[in-house]
A = this chain, B = another copy of it.
């Protein structure tokens, strides 16, 4: 393998790394050593655990994005403020003691009003835009904290974060609904729930308990409650983001599964949606960030 550099997506709960030649992936590896698990002194070891096999005598650049750049991360990479290009500044160099690597962390973006932040998504946005000249429109990046991002003239103009994914996980695993939610997925139940909460978002907390009551009183086919829970939460989000997606050029960047769920909900509302691959966007964005470090080296 002729590895030229290493791309790293280092979030709260996972560390994923790719051995790169230009923009071509030669190998990949990952671990559960996300930012939340590590003390400051633990990041270098956690990284080497994953990439050790790729290292030789010549030093390699490692370019990382995500929560690794948070205050509790390896090094704090100060936010850039929107409006701004998604990756407007040279990534932050991380002093370290291993001569085989030179580590850089991509800063996140912040918005002053309303206050909002992102770390990691800015890199995906940069990667998405890299292959689409003059793309103006709205990006939806679904996940634990779903981002809706307005893009114009190569810049992130504004964005808004929704805790939809985290709410879904909390309710599914830790609330009284855990007794009523099984695996499986009923598409019709999902789309009905999206429509219902889109038109009556204020009823969310009642609809949630309704899932439990319906199960107690009537029983419920497998996958109905899970799809209804997801649909109810996404419906409220779509009610809040109507100005973002209605009549706009729209793309979703996310994991395949959750992207398809959002796409179906939006298509039902008449929106035209492009779905972009999240990993490909991350790698293209990290390649851009790497170019910034080389221009100034």
Contact = CB atoms under 8 A, between A and B. Distances in A.
A23 to B, nearest CB: 32
A213 B176 contact: no
A273 interface: no
Contacts of A110: 213, 217
A264 interface: no
A163 B163 CA distance: 17
Given A202-B201, A240-B203, A209 B175 contact: no
Interface in A93-124: 110-112, 114-117
Interface stretch (A57-65, A164-172, A281-289): A164-172
A145 B112 contact: no
A205 interface: yes
A116 B213 CA distance: 5
Interface in A203-221: 203-206, 208-210, 212-214, 216-218
Interface stretch (A3-11, A39-47, A149-157, A231-239): A231-239
B175 A206 contact: no
B240 A202 contact: yes
Contact of A204 (B117, B204, B206): B204
A236 B115 contact: no
A80 to B, nearest CB: 13
Taking each of A115, A163, A171, A200, which has the highest tally of chain B beta carbons within 10 Å of its own beta carbon?
A: A163
27 contacts: A71-B216, A110-B213, A111-B213, A114-B210, A115-B213, A115-B218, A116-B209, A116-B210, A117-B212, A117-B217, A145-B176, A160-B206, A161-B210, A162-B205, A163-B175, A163-B176, A163-B208, A164-B205, A166-B176, A167-B175, A170-B170, A170-B174, A174-B174, A202-B202, A202-B236, A203-B240, A205-B237
A172 to B, nearest CB: 11
A205 B167 contact: yes
Interface of A: 71, 79, 110-112, 114-117, 145, 160-164, 166-167, 170-171, 174-176, 200-206, 208-210, 212-214, 216-218, 233, 236-237, 239-240
Nearest to A235: B202
A204 B167 CA distance: 11
A116 to B, nearest CB: 5
Nearest to A179: B72
Contact of A145 (B202, B209, B214, B217): B209
B216 A117 contact: yes
A150 B79 CA distance: 51
Contacts of A116: 209-210, 213
A217 B171 contact: no
Taking each of A145, A171, A200, A209, which has the highest tally of chain B beta carbons within 10 Å of its own beta carbon?
A: A209
Contacts of A117: 212-213, 216-217
